[in-house]
Structure 1
Amino acid sequence: MADETAHRALTEDVEDLKAMLQAVQAELRDLREAVPGAAGAAGDGDTTPDGAGEEQEEDVEWQYPPFLFLLEGEQRDAELRLLAEWVEGVLVPGCLTEVSADARWCHRWIEHWDAVGVLHAMWLAWQELTDPATCGHTGPSVWYRDHYRPHVAALRGPGGPFGSCTKGEHRTEHRLPSKVPSAWCATEDEA
């Protein structure tokens, strides 16, 4: 009798777990459908609770994170436009203080490629850390402490990318290194 009761309780537990798994899978499917272009969007067929979805995960090709330097063509242009909107619409008016000799800012920041990389990294962090769904309500504080303050100090300091730019003069040539062969950027001669 005790074995039968234990078996019945175990069966009920398994059924409860199956129902919970199906609910989580349905919620995940709804989230994927809500995000345009999300990997594994609606219709991917991954609703099996028996582990068949693991096989599908192995077939999915790994993609680079959306960091600007890893993008090309139209994708990079679109990301640059979005970055410019954020820098000019959020960062500059809301966060940057008055320009001075010790804290410079170049209105032609997009021509300073090293600054663009830092600003893009800051923007990616800002997107993640200002979303209460992923970070709760402490995300903005973390963004200011870990991303904004150190990066802006480096960007605007005397040794930063804007160090030679003044209100009347813009210089990027002091920052442009010669091309270095690398695995990231193959030249036409190497192809």
Structure 2
Amino acid sequence: MRGRDEETGEYFSPSRSQNRRDALEVLALGEKLVALTDAQLAKLPVPESLLPHIRECRRITSHIAHKRQLAYLAKQMRREDDEVLEAIRDALDEDGEAARREVAAMHRVEAWRERLLADGDAALAQLLDEHPTADRQHLRALVRSALDERRKNKPPRAFRELYRALRELIVGGAANGDDIDEADESFEDDER
């Protein structure tokens, strides 16, 4: 029995139905994790203790044995803190906070690239005010090359290189830049 608080009338713990719904959500999350490749899994904040269980579940092909191993993985996942599971869900969720931050960073970099191409030295001066560590000559050369490519209808090599240089500068490179690599690649593919 769950028990009730005498004063407020609220239950002390969640109902069995709620516990079951929570367990099924964790099982569905486990199925998503098993379906991911190793590269995709490496980008997620999955605890090291769960990785052997995920690999074992992938290895098993027999339907019933796979289902049993998946249930065991879900049991191990339920032992983790709620914050860990929420972080995994957020990283998997396309509409999650992490995805929104990545898209916002990508748009910031794209906006700076377009400003540099449209306004030239005025935009470059403003960028250098905000980011004094930037290499003025390198950025100026990339802008000139990108404009030249546009004018001559050449492939956008310098255009992409300018994006990467700006991403390194604005987003912070190795600390956060890896987070938007996929978005960068898909954006570059769209421009072709």
Shorter chain as normaliser: what TM range? under 0.3
TM-score, length-normalised on structure 2? Answer: 0.25
Structure that is richer in helix per residue: 2
